[in-house]
Amino acid sequence: MRQRRFLIPLASLVALLLLSACREVSEEHVIDEPSKVEPIEGTDIARVTLTEPAAARLGIETAQVEREGEQIVVPSAAVMVDPGGVFWVYTNPEPLVFVRHEISIDHEIGDWAYLTGGPPVGTDIVTVGVPELYGTETGIGK
């Protein structure tokens, strides 16, 4: 008899817990995305904005476009080629913002690419994390 008295409150407690678990969740759960991709009007290029943790995870590093004689020079690590055979670098116009910029390569020597066309001297460009930015911009790997 004593065991039955104990089971009734226990069964009531279990039923109450199960019913509370079935209630509808009314609050929204928002997750901050590590990146934001915004198309640039009139182009097939997008502006990629990363959160600070995302940029740190990718190990993003930058360098500046330089001039050597009459030519624009960038580290070869900054250069990428898309599936259509077009060469690009990612510029870094403001902190955590990256925009793809088409380039024309004249030749490469060692770790340097000599350009006939590209961003102006002094422009910050990405040297580490380029493939990840391209994947983020184009949705490759999602």
Per-residue pLDDT at 21: 52
Query: DSSP for 14-34?
Result: HHHHHHHHTSPP-S------S
Model pTM score:
0.77
Q: Can you tell me the distance from the alpha carbon of 104 to that of 113, in angstroms, rounded to the nearest whole number?
A: 10
Q: Can you tell me the distance from the alpha carbon of 64 to that of 39, in angstroms, rounded to the nearest whole number?
A: 25
Each residue's pLDDT tens digit, 94-142: 999 999 999 999 999 999 999 999 999 999 999 999 999 999 999 986 6
Task: Out of 31-35, 41-45, 69-73, pick the least confident.
Answer: 31-35
What is the CB neighbour count within 10 angstroms for residue 127?
19
More confident residue, 34 or 18: 34
Side-chain-side CA neighbours of residue 105 (13 Å): 17
Can you read off the two tokens belonging to residue 102?
Answer: 């088409």
Using an 8 Å Cβ cutoff, are 132 and 59 in contact? no
